[in-house]
Amino acid sequence: MTPMLAAAGSTPAFGAIDWLVIIGYFAVLLGITWWSISKNKDTADDYFLAGRHLGWLIIGASIFASNIGSEHLVGLAGSGATDGVAMAHYELHAWCLLVLGWVLVPFYTRSKVFTMPEFLERRFSVSARYVLSIISLVAYVVTKIAVGIFAGGIVFGTLLPEMRLDLGFTVLNSFWVGSILVILLTGAYTVLGGLRAVAYTEAVQTLVLVLGSALVTWFGLAKLGGWGEFREVLSSDMFNLWKPLIPAGMEGTWAPVKEPGRIAWYFNGNYPWLGMLFCAPIIGLWYWCTDQYIVQRALGAPNEQEARRGAIFAAFLKLLPVFIFIIPGMICFALAKSGKVPELAFLVGPDGQALRDESQGAFPLMVAHVLPVGVRGIVVAGLLAALMSSLSGVFNASSTLFTMDLYQKLRPKASQHQLVWMGRIATIAMVLIGLMWIPVIQGAKGLYHYLQSVQGYLAPPIFVVFFLGVFMKRLNAKGCLAALVVGFLVGVFRMMVDTPVMLGLEGYQDGYTEGSFLWIINNIYFQYFSLLITLLCVVVMVAVSYLTEPPDEARLHGLTFATVSDEHRAETRASWDKRDVLASVAVLILILIAYLYFQG
């Protein structure tokens, strides 16, 4: 258990109104799940893609709710307390959703695929589909599923620290009870209702989440004394997205390896400018444009127009996390530092900076110590909404990948009923595997940091094969497969090197021998290492493709920009109007305003 959980024992009790709000929230979810089950037709198309009948409002809200999950409640707010607005770079990636809507949605919609690996099969080969499915499932286990479960434990451990469950042979504390409850409740409606239940519950959860998080920001600022006092208590560096490339006194330092007392190019002491500039967009484009977890909602649209508008709506919503997660985390630290909430004093270290482990509970601590009775229940419902929406989304995506890309390939004669039930079994299996990965996350340097680093190791090969595959028709199946395999193996190698150090296993408490090969690998910052994997994948894919035979032109029809027909272009042009363009421009302007404001 982290020190933060141990220190949260003075959490105020919930009032009757709080519990009524939470019970009402679950009653709404139960009603939506029941309605979804009544609509189910026991077919793969209906269970995994809601019959392709999702409208743009549901698609956008569902994308947002799936993304804004446990890693934001715990990790992003925690990073706000320790590093200020540094992680806002990732949250201002709303423009990536515009790339999804305007660039890739036309290809996905025309292909009528169930999964991203299936699209890769049509563009390249069956082998590419298998490899991507396996990479995606591994990525979901070590990031989204395990992180979601862990964050659920953090929230329950902070808000209900006295909760215990005696099993006879062992006693589960509030952290584990919370994790298990979140899994069971989320798994229930995901297994029973499929994507329809997931998408519609996420639409409701988006409303609850945004309202609840906005209340945390509002009451937190009121407790602190307003925005002016907020800026006064914290240093200007915490509000600065534009730190110098090389900090003062670091001139002449070019090594990308972190060294004691000599950290080159690091942003707010932790995030490098070059990494944010070049690596963060790679992770963003992979996540928003090619990840089954996100794109599955767009695949559930009836046509290109609804899918694109859903992506644009999600882009607007994606601008909110800076103000409803990062800012509350910063407010939490400001309240601790100013002494206005004495119960939060344990967050401040001897050097006056926020302690990283303790700060992971910044958001639920704000809920516990700042909000009044009644409002606390609304925000806790929002917390649960975020935890459950992120998990339900990844459960559904995982079951779709396993069932449609692996099981159906091995059992091509399986009935629609069998496919649906295999999807449910796959969901349960992924949950159990995710539970076993939690100890690794507990040793990581901050929840959000862990998530971004692992995604940085696994995202590059997928980003490369999708974007190069769509833009360069000369690239073939052999090049795609080589890039996927090489990139995946290098990423897994880095994870294997990092894991013993993160866990603090015997002999690895102090890391590897300084100057050794494994020490260098372990100490190269994750964003720089991600860039190395990306460049390696590009070189491998292009080189192998041009050293082997070109792909068959016939199979490329409509799958690359060079092979799109005039008819397809006309269909795409008819699917948007000036409203879509103006909305997209508005998103870009809002992103620019945020970057201009946060300059320290």
What is 68-128 written as a DSSP string?
Answer: SSHIIIIIIHHHHHHHGGGGHHHHTTHHHHHHIIIIIHHHHHHHT-SSHHHHHHHHT-HHH
pLDDT at 262: 35
Q: What is the pTM of this model?
A: 0.80
Determine contact, residues 382/371, Cβ cutoff 8 Å: no
What's the rounded Cα separation, in Å, for the pair 410 and 399? 15
Determine contact, residues 241/598, Cβ cutoff 8 Å: yes
Is residue 269 predicted with pLDDT exceeding 50? no
CA distances from 137 to 131, 298, 302, 492 (A): 10, 20, 27, 13
Residue with tokens 């999708």: 466
pLDDT confidence bin for 136, thresholds 50/70/90 = confident
Which stretch of DSSP H or E encloses residue 552? none
What's the rounded Cα separation, in Å, for the pair 464 and 470? 10
- pLDDT tens-digit map of 28-57: 877 877 777 777 665 666 666 656 778 898
3-state secondary structure of 234: coil
pLDDT at 285: 92
Determine contact, residues 362/80, Cβ cutoff 8 Å: yes
Q: Which two tokens stand for residue 35?
A: 């309605």
In DSSP terms, 240 is beta-bridged to: 599
List domains and CATH numbers for the chain: 3-597 (1.20.1730.10)
Query: Comparing 203-212, 427-436, 550-559, which segment has the lowest mean pLDDT?
Result: 427-436
Determine contact, residues 557/566, Cβ cutoff 8 Å: no
What is the DSSP-derived secondary structure letter of residue 504?
T
pLDDT at 124: 93
- Comparing 306 with 32, which gets the higher pLDDT? 306
Q: Is 597 left (phi over 0), alpha (psi -120 to 50) or beta?
A: alpha
Backbone angles phi, psi at 540, to 5 degrees: -65, -45
Over residues 101-128, the mean pLDDT reads 90
Q: Which two tokens stand for residue 335?
A: 């309240």
Exposed/middle/buried for residue 344 (C-beta within 10 Å: 0-12, 13-18, 19+): buried
Is residue 9 predicted with pLDDT exceeding 50? no
Is residue 78 predicted with pLDDT exceeding 90? no
Is residue 409 predicted with pLDDT exceeding 50? yes
- Comparing 372 with 188, which gets the higher pLDDT? 372
- pLDDT tens-digit map of 525-571: 888 899 999 999 999 999 999 999 999 888 888 889 888 888 989 99
Is residue 112 predicted with pLDDT exceeding 70? yes
Over residues 67-74, the mean pLDDT reads 68
What's the rounded Cα separation, in Å, for the pair 402 and 115? 10
Determine contact, residues 576/305, Cβ cutoff 8 Å: yes
Query: Comparing 264-268, 358-362, 398-402, which segment has the lowest mean pLDDT?
Result: 264-268
Q: Which amino acid is at 82?
A: T
Over residues 55-80, the mean pLDDT reads 79
Instruction: Name the average pLDDT for the chain.
Output: 79
CA distances from 80 to 136, 322, 324, 446, 513 (A): 29, 9, 11, 11, 33
Determine contact, residues 332/365, Cβ cutoff 8 Å: yes
Is residue 267 predicted with pLDDT exceeding 60? no
What is 362-395 written as a DSSP string?
Answer: HHHHHHHHHSPTTHHHHHHHHHHHHHHHHHHHHH
| Number of Cβ within a 10 Å radius of residue 266 | 17
- Comparing 176 with 20, which gets the higher pLDDT? 20
In DSSP terms, 257 is beta-bridged to: 524
What's the rounded Cα separation, in Å, for the pair 306 and 288? 17
Is residue 413 predicted with pLDDT exceeding 90? no
Determine contact, residues 199/303, Cβ cutoff 8 Å: no
Is residue 248 predicted with pLDDT exceeding 60? no
Q: Which two tokens stand for residue 143?
A: 């990031």
- pLDDT tens-digit map of 451-491: 677 888 888 999 999 999 999 999 999 999 999 999 999 99
Query: Comparing 177-186, 191-200, 265-274, which segment has the lowest mean pLDDT?
Result: 265-274
Q: Which two tokens stand for residue 357?
A: 């482990």
Determine contact, residues 284/90, Cβ cutoff 8 Å: yes
Which stretch of DSSP H or E encloses residue 16? helix 16-39
3-state secondary structure of 172: strand
- Comparing 21 with 159, which gets the higher pLDDT? 21
What is the DSSP-derived secondary structure letter of residue 576?
-
What's the rounded Cα separation, in Å, for the pair 344 and 354? 11
